A = this chain, B = another copy of it.
Protein backbone atom coordinates (compact mmCIF):
# COMPACT_ATOMS: atom_id res chain seq x y z
CA UNK A 1 0.00 0.00 0.00
CA UNK A 2 1.58 3.24 -1.14
CA UNK A 3 1.49 6.12 1.32
CA UNK A 4 0.57 8.62 -1.39
CA UNK A 5 -1.18 8.07 -4.66
CA UNK A 6 -2.05 10.76 -7.19
CA UNK A 7 -5.46 9.92 -8.64
CA UNK A 8 -6.02 12.87 -10.97
CA UNK A 9 -4.05 15.74 -12.44
CA UNK A 10 -5.54 19.00 -13.62
CA UNK A 11 -4.66 19.85 -17.23
CA UNK A 12 -4.57 23.65 -16.94
CA UNK A 13 -2.74 23.95 -13.60
CA UNK A 14 -0.36 21.90 -11.47
CA UNK A 15 -3.26 20.88 -9.20
CA UNK A 16 -3.68 17.22 -8.42
CA UNK A 17 -6.06 15.05 -6.40
CA UNK A 18 -4.70 12.14 -4.42
CA UNK A 19 -4.95 9.79 -1.50
CA UNK A 20 -2.79 9.70 1.64
CA UNK A 21 -2.86 6.41 3.52
CA UNK A 22 -1.80 6.42 7.14
CA UNK A 23 -2.16 3.64 9.68
CA UNK A 24 -5.43 5.27 10.73
CA UNK A 25 -7.17 5.73 7.42
CA UNK A 26 -7.24 7.28 3.99
CA UNK A 27 -7.22 11.02 3.46
CA UNK A 28 -8.26 12.67 0.21
CA UNK A 29 -5.98 15.46 -0.99
CA UNK A 30 -5.72 18.38 -1.36
CA UNK A 31 -6.55 18.58 2.32
CA UNK A 32 -6.67 21.18 5.08
CA UNK A 33 -5.66 20.09 8.58
CA UNK A 34 -7.27 22.01 11.47
CA UNK A 35 -4.72 22.93 14.12
CA UNK A 36 -5.15 21.24 17.49
CA UNK A 37 -2.21 22.91 19.17
CA UNK A 38 -2.80 21.72 22.73
CA UNK A 39 -4.64 18.46 22.01
CA UNK A 40 -7.88 20.22 21.01
CA UNK A 41 -8.96 22.13 17.95
CA UNK A 42 -10.02 25.28 19.76
CA UNK A 43 -13.72 25.63 20.65
CA UNK A 44 -14.80 22.44 18.86
CA UNK A 45 -15.53 18.85 19.81
CA UNK A 46 -14.10 15.96 17.83
CA UNK A 47 -17.65 15.03 16.81
CA UNK A 48 -18.11 18.43 15.21
CA UNK A 49 -14.85 17.85 13.28
CA UNK A 50 -15.98 14.38 12.20
CA UNK A 51 -19.26 15.83 11.01
CA UNK A 52 -17.37 18.34 8.86
CA UNK A 53 -15.50 15.44 7.29
CA UNK A 54 -12.04 16.07 8.70
CA UNK A 55 -9.80 12.99 8.64
CA UNK A 56 -6.57 14.58 9.83
CA UNK A 57 -5.65 17.31 12.28
CA UNK A 58 -2.37 18.79 13.44
CA UNK A 59 -0.81 18.76 16.90
CA UNK A 60 2.10 20.91 18.06
CA UNK A 61 4.93 19.05 19.74
CA UNK A 62 6.21 22.26 21.30
CA UNK A 63 3.02 22.85 23.29
CA UNK A 64 2.30 19.21 24.02
CA UNK A 65 5.86 18.68 25.26
CA UNK A 66 5.41 21.51 27.76
CA UNK A 67 1.78 20.68 28.64
CA UNK A 68 0.73 18.01 29.55
CA UNK A 69 4.18 16.54 28.74
CA UNK A 70 5.24 13.53 26.68
CA UNK A 71 5.02 11.11 29.64
CA UNK A 72 1.39 11.95 30.36
CA UNK A 73 0.48 11.54 26.69
CA UNK A 74 2.34 8.24 26.55
CA UNK A 75 0.60 6.97 29.68
CA UNK A 76 -2.75 8.03 28.22
CA UNK A 77 -2.06 5.71 25.29
CA UNK A 78 -0.89 8.44 22.94
CA UNK A 79 -2.21 11.76 21.73
CA UNK A 80 -5.14 10.22 19.82
CA UNK A 81 -6.40 8.40 22.89
CA UNK A 82 -5.80 11.41 25.15
CA UNK A 83 -7.92 13.74 23.03
CA UNK A 84 -10.30 11.07 21.74
CA UNK A 85 -9.49 11.65 18.05
CA UNK A 86 -9.88 8.52 15.93
CA UNK A 87 -8.35 9.72 12.67
CA UNK A 88 -4.85 10.77 11.66
CA UNK A 89 -2.64 13.34 13.34
CA UNK A 90 0.31 15.16 11.82
CA UNK A 91 2.59 16.60 14.46
CA UNK A 92 4.71 19.65 13.99
CA UNK A 93 8.27 19.24 15.26
CA UNK A 94 8.18 22.37 17.36
CA UNK A 95 10.73 24.12 15.17
CA UNK A 96 8.38 26.92 14.18
CA UNK A 97 7.23 27.49 17.77
CA UNK A 98 10.74 27.55 19.22
CA UNK A 99 11.59 30.30 16.77
CA UNK A 100 8.32 32.23 16.95
CA UNK A 101 7.32 31.89 20.62
CA UNK A 102 10.45 31.46 22.70
CA UNK A 103 12.24 34.77 22.84
CA UNK A 104 15.18 33.20 24.62
CA UNK A 105 16.75 30.49 22.48
CA UNK A 106 20.15 29.37 21.25
CA UNK A 107 20.72 27.53 17.99
CA UNK A 108 23.41 24.90 18.34
CA UNK A 109 24.66 22.42 15.79
CA UNK A 110 22.99 19.60 17.73
CA UNK A 111 19.65 21.36 18.10
CA UNK A 112 18.01 24.35 19.70
CA UNK A 113 17.98 25.37 23.32
CA UNK A 114 14.97 27.37 24.49
CA UNK A 115 13.15 28.56 27.53
CA UNK A 116 9.59 27.48 28.18
CA UNK A 117 6.93 30.14 27.55
CA UNK A 118 5.14 28.73 30.59
CA UNK A 119 7.71 28.68 33.38
CA UNK A 120 10.98 29.84 31.86
CA UNK A 121 12.63 26.43 32.32
CA UNK A 122 15.39 25.44 29.87
CA UNK A 123 14.91 22.75 27.23
CA UNK A 124 16.73 21.28 24.24
CA UNK A 125 15.07 20.10 21.05
CA UNK A 126 17.31 18.04 18.78
CA UNK A 127 16.50 16.47 15.41
CA UNK A 128 16.61 13.10 17.16
CA UNK A 129 14.58 13.81 20.28
CA UNK A 130 11.72 15.51 18.43
CA UNK A 131 11.39 12.43 16.18
CA UNK A 132 11.45 10.12 19.20
CA UNK A 133 8.87 12.23 21.03
CA UNK A 134 6.54 12.40 18.02
CA UNK A 135 6.80 8.62 17.83
CA UNK A 136 6.12 8.18 21.53
CA UNK A 137 2.88 10.15 21.36
CA UNK A 138 1.70 8.14 18.35
CA UNK A 139 1.98 10.67 15.54
CA UNK A 140 0.91 9.41 12.10
CA UNK A 141 3.03 11.95 10.25
CA UNK A 142 6.05 13.50 11.97
CA UNK A 143 7.91 16.59 10.88
CA UNK A 144 11.66 17.14 11.08
CA UNK A 145 13.12 19.86 13.28
CA UNK A 146 13.83 22.93 11.16
CA UNK A 147 15.18 26.39 11.69
CA UNK A 148 12.37 28.71 10.73
CA UNK A 149 13.63 32.25 10.21
CA UNK A 150 11.54 35.43 10.05
CA UNK A 151 11.10 37.46 6.87
CA UNK A 152 14.56 38.68 5.89
CA UNK A 153 16.68 39.39 2.83
CA UNK A 154 19.93 38.48 4.56
CA UNK A 155 21.49 35.77 2.33
CA UNK A 156 24.12 34.67 4.87
CA UNK A 157 21.58 34.09 7.67
CA UNK A 158 19.12 32.48 5.25
CA UNK A 159 21.76 30.11 3.87
CA UNK A 160 23.09 29.10 7.27
CA UNK A 161 19.60 28.32 8.53
CA UNK A 162 18.66 26.37 5.39
CA UNK A 163 21.87 24.35 5.50
CA UNK A 164 21.50 23.57 9.18
CA UNK A 165 17.92 22.45 8.46
CA UNK A 166 19.33 20.07 5.82
CA UNK A 167 21.93 18.64 8.21
CA UNK A 168 19.17 18.20 10.79
CA UNK A 169 17.08 16.46 8.11
CA UNK A 170 19.77 13.82 7.66
CA UNK A 171 19.92 13.34 11.43
CA UNK A 172 16.12 13.02 11.51
CA UNK A 173 16.13 10.24 8.93
CA UNK A 174 18.72 8.33 10.95
CA UNK A 175 16.64 8.86 14.09
CA UNK A 176 13.54 7.46 12.42
CA UNK A 177 15.52 4.41 11.20
CA UNK A 178 16.72 3.76 14.74
CA UNK A 179 13.12 3.55 15.92
CA UNK A 180 12.69 0.62 13.52
CA UNK A 181 9.34 -0.69 12.35
CA UNK A 182 6.77 2.03 12.75
CA UNK A 183 3.71 3.27 10.94
CA UNK A 184 4.93 6.81 11.51
CA UNK A 185 5.67 8.74 8.32
CA UNK A 186 8.28 11.49 8.18
CA UNK A 187 8.25 14.72 6.18
CA UNK A 188 11.25 16.89 5.35
CA UNK A 189 10.98 20.67 5.33
CA UNK A 190 12.33 22.98 2.63
CA UNK A 191 13.58 26.27 4.06
CA UNK A 192 15.57 28.93 2.23
CA UNK A 193 13.68 32.09 2.99
CA UNK A 194 13.11 34.39 0.05
CA UNK A 195 16.32 33.72 -1.81
CA UNK A 196 15.71 31.61 -4.86
CA UNK A 197 18.99 29.75 -5.25
CA UNK A 198 18.86 28.72 -1.58
CA UNK A 199 15.26 27.54 -2.01
CA UNK A 200 16.33 25.55 -5.10
CA UNK A 201 19.23 23.94 -3.28
CA UNK A 202 17.03 23.11 -0.26
CA UNK A 203 14.19 21.74 -2.41
CA UNK A 204 16.49 19.50 -4.41
CA UNK A 205 18.35 18.31 -1.33
CA UNK A 206 15.17 17.43 0.61
CA UNK A 207 13.77 15.74 -2.51
CA UNK A 208 16.86 13.53 -2.64
CA UNK A 209 16.36 12.28 0.91
CA UNK A 210 14.27 9.38 2.15
CA UNK A 211 11.17 11.33 3.21
CA UNK A 212 7.52 10.39 2.80
CA UNK A 213 6.50 13.94 2.02
CA UNK A 214 7.93 17.38 1.51
CA UNK A 215 6.87 20.50 3.33
CA UNK A 216 7.54 24.06 2.29
CA UNK A 217 8.28 26.06 5.40
CA UNK A 218 9.28 29.64 6.10
CA UNK A 219 6.58 31.19 3.92
CA UNK A 220 3.58 33.25 5.01
CA UNK A 221 5.76 34.73 7.76
CA UNK A 222 4.87 38.37 7.18
CA UNK A 223 5.77 38.90 3.50
CA UNK A 224 3.32 40.05 0.79
CA UNK A 225 1.09 37.38 -0.65
CA UNK A 226 2.59 38.00 -4.09
CA UNK A 227 6.05 37.21 -2.73
CA UNK A 228 4.72 34.07 -1.02
CA UNK A 229 3.29 32.77 -4.25
CA UNK A 230 6.37 33.67 -6.27
CA UNK A 231 8.66 31.74 -3.93
CA UNK A 232 6.19 28.86 -3.59
CA UNK A 233 5.86 28.55 -7.36
CA UNK A 234 9.63 28.63 -7.77
CA UNK A 235 10.24 26.10 -4.98
CA UNK A 236 7.61 23.68 -6.26
CA UNK A 237 9.65 23.43 -9.48
CA UNK A 238 12.43 21.62 -7.64
CA UNK A 239 10.66 19.26 -5.30
CA UNK A 240 9.87 15.61 -5.95
CA UNK A 241 6.32 15.73 -7.30
CA UNK A 242 5.68 12.06 -6.56
CA UNK A 243 5.53 12.91 -2.86
CA UNK A 244 2.81 14.89 -1.12
CA UNK A 245 3.63 18.60 -0.89
CA UNK A 246 2.63 20.44 2.28
CA UNK A 247 2.45 24.23 2.66
CA UNK A 248 2.94 24.92 6.36
CA UNK A 249 0.84 27.67 7.89
CA UNK A 250 -1.53 28.80 5.16
CA UNK A 251 -5.28 28.83 5.71
CA UNK A 252 -7.09 31.57 3.81
CA UNK A 253 -9.45 30.42 1.05
CA UNK A 254 -7.81 32.23 -1.87
CA UNK A 255 -4.29 31.36 -0.74
CA UNK A 256 -5.28 27.71 -0.52
CA UNK A 257 -6.76 27.59 -4.02
CA UNK A 258 -3.77 29.42 -5.50
CA UNK A 259 -1.39 26.98 -3.79
CA UNK A 260 -3.44 23.98 -4.91
CA UNK A 261 -3.05 25.25 -8.46
CA UNK A 262 0.73 25.11 -7.92
CA UNK A 263 0.55 21.48 -6.82
CA UNK A 264 0.26 21.75 -3.02
CA UNK A 265 -1.56 18.81 -1.42
CA UNK A 266 -1.69 19.67 2.30
CA UNK A 267 -2.36 22.75 4.39
CA UNK A 268 -2.63 23.74 8.03
CA UNK A 269 -3.27 27.03 9.75
CA UNK A 270 -4.69 28.41 12.99
CA UNK A 271 -6.47 31.09 10.97
CA UNK A 272 -9.95 29.53 10.64
CA UNK A 273 -10.20 28.97 14.39
CA UNK A 274 -8.34 32.11 15.44
CA UNK A 275 -10.52 34.51 13.45
CA UNK A 276 -13.55 32.76 14.94
CA UNK A 277 -12.59 34.03 18.36
CA UNK A 278 -12.44 37.60 17.09
CA UNK A 279 -15.80 37.45 15.34
CA UNK A 280 -14.80 36.83 11.73
CA UNK A 281 -16.43 34.45 9.30
CA UNK A 282 -15.58 33.32 5.80
CA UNK A 283 -18.48 33.62 3.39
CA UNK A 284 -18.74 32.77 -0.28
CA UNK A 285 -18.63 36.48 -1.03
CA UNK A 286 -15.74 37.35 1.28
CA UNK A 287 -14.80 37.58 4.94
CA UNK A 288 -17.16 39.40 7.29
CA UNK A 289 -16.89 40.45 10.91
CA UNK A 290 -19.96 39.80 12.98
CA UNK A 291 -19.24 42.78 15.26
CA UNK A 292 -20.52 45.08 12.52
CA UNK A 293 -23.63 46.93 13.63
CA UNK A 294 -25.51 46.07 10.46
CA UNK A 295 -25.84 42.46 11.59
CA UNK A 296 -27.94 43.33 14.67
CA UNK A 297 -31.18 42.64 12.80
CA UNK A 298 -29.79 40.41 10.07
CA UNK A 299 -31.76 37.21 10.40
CA UNK A 300 -29.94 35.37 7.61
CA UNK A 301 -27.20 32.77 8.20
CA UNK A 302 -23.50 33.70 8.18
CA UNK A 303 -23.41 32.45 4.58
CA UNK A 304 -26.56 31.59 2.67
CA UNK A 305 -24.67 29.04 0.60
CA UNK A 306 -23.13 27.25 3.58
CA UNK A 307 -24.49 23.94 4.86
CA UNK A 308 -22.71 23.93 8.25
CA UNK A 309 -24.40 23.36 11.61
CA UNK A 310 -24.18 27.07 12.45
CA UNK A 311 -25.66 28.24 9.16
CA UNK A 312 -28.41 25.62 9.22
CA UNK A 313 -29.50 26.74 12.70
CA UNK A 314 -28.45 30.30 13.52
CA UNK A 315 -28.62 33.84 12.22
CA UNK A 316 -26.04 36.59 12.01
CA UNK A 317 -28.18 38.51 14.49
CA UNK A 318 -27.88 35.73 17.08
CA UNK A 319 -24.15 35.17 16.59
CA UNK A 320 -23.51 38.92 16.78
CA UNK A 321 -25.43 38.97 20.08
CA UNK A 322 -23.38 36.03 21.41
CA UNK A 323 -20.13 37.68 20.37
CA UNK A 324 -21.09 41.01 21.89
CA UNK A 325 -22.11 39.39 25.19
CA UNK A 326 -18.87 37.33 25.22
CA UNK A 327 -20.70 34.01 25.19
CA UNK A 328 -18.56 30.92 24.55
CA UNK A 329 -21.14 29.71 22.04
CA UNK A 330 -20.05 32.48 19.65
CA UNK A 331 -16.57 30.95 19.41
CA UNK A 332 -18.14 27.51 18.97
CA UNK A 333 -20.55 28.52 16.20
CA UNK A 334 -17.97 30.61 14.34
CA UNK A 335 -15.28 27.90 14.60
CA UNK A 336 -17.71 25.28 13.33
CA UNK A 337 -18.63 27.55 10.45
CA UNK A 338 -15.13 28.59 9.45
CA UNK A 339 -13.72 25.06 9.66
CA UNK A 340 -16.66 23.74 7.66
CA UNK A 341 -16.17 26.47 5.08
CA UNK A 342 -12.55 25.41 4.53
CA UNK A 343 -13.41 21.68 4.54
CA UNK A 344 -16.10 22.38 1.96
CA UNK A 345 -13.72 24.49 -0.13
CA UNK A 346 -11.18 21.66 -0.26
CA UNK A 347 -13.92 19.16 -1.07
CA UNK A 348 -15.05 21.33 -3.97
CA UNK A 349 -11.44 21.72 -5.11
CA UNK A 350 -10.97 17.93 -5.11
CA UNK A 351 -14.18 17.30 -7.02
CA UNK A 352 -13.33 19.97 -9.58
CA UNK A 353 -9.85 18.50 -10.07
CA UNK A 354 -11.36 15.05 -10.56
CA UNK A 355 -13.86 16.47 -13.00
CA UNK A 356 -11.23 18.46 -14.90
CA UNK A 357 -12.66 21.89 -14.08
CA UNK A 358 -10.46 23.17 -11.27
CA UNK A 359 -9.26 26.19 -13.23
CA UNK A 360 -12.80 27.48 -13.72
CA UNK A 361 -13.83 26.67 -10.16
CA UNK A 362 -10.94 28.60 -8.70
CA UNK A 363 -11.53 31.59 -10.96
CA UNK A 364 -15.21 31.73 -10.10
CA UNK A 365 -14.62 31.28 -6.38
CA UNK A 366 -12.03 34.05 -6.28
CA UNK A 367 -14.19 36.44 -8.26
CA UNK A 368 -17.10 35.99 -5.87
CA UNK A 369 -14.95 35.90 -2.74
CA UNK A 370 -13.33 39.20 -3.64
CA UNK A 371 -16.72 40.87 -4.20
CA UNK A 372 -16.97 42.21 -0.66
CA UNK A 373 -13.41 43.53 -0.63
CA UNK A 374 -13.95 45.26 -3.95
CA UNK A 375 -17.09 46.91 -2.64
CA UNK A 376 -15.29 48.47 0.33
Q: CB within 8 Å of B: which residues of A?
A: 38-40, 42-46, 63, 67-68, 72, 75-76, 82-84, 296-297, 299, 313-315, 317-318, 320-322, 324-325, 327-329, 331-332
Q: How far is the CA of A313 from the CA of B331 in the complex (A)?
A: 22
Q: How far is the CA of A76 from the CA of B314 in the complex (A)?
A: 11
Question: Which residue of the partner chain B has the closest CB to A332?
Answer: B45
B332 touches A82 (CB 8 A): no
Question: Which residue of the partner chain B has the closest CB to A39?
Answer: B321
B76 touches A325 (CB 8 A): no
Q: How far is the CA of A325 from the CA of B37 in the complex (A)?
A: 11
B43 touches A321 (CB 8 A): no
How many monomers of this chain does the complex have? 2
Q: How far is the CA of A123 from the CA of B327 in the complex (A)?
A: 24
Q: How far is the CA of A320 from the CA of B38 in the complex (A)?
A: 12
A68 touches B317 (CB 8 A): yes
A39 touches B318 (CB 8 A): yes
A82-B317, A332-B332 given; A327·B40 CB < 8 A: yes
B328 touches A332 (CB 8 A): yes
- 14 contacting pairs across A/B (C-beta < 8 A): A38-B321, A38-B325, A40-B322, A42-B328, A42-B329, A43-B328, A68-B317, A68-B320, A75-B297, A76-B299, A76-B315, A76-B318, A82-B318, A328-B331
Question: Which residue of the partner chain B has the closest CB to A84?
Answer: B313
B328 touches A72 (CB 8 A): no
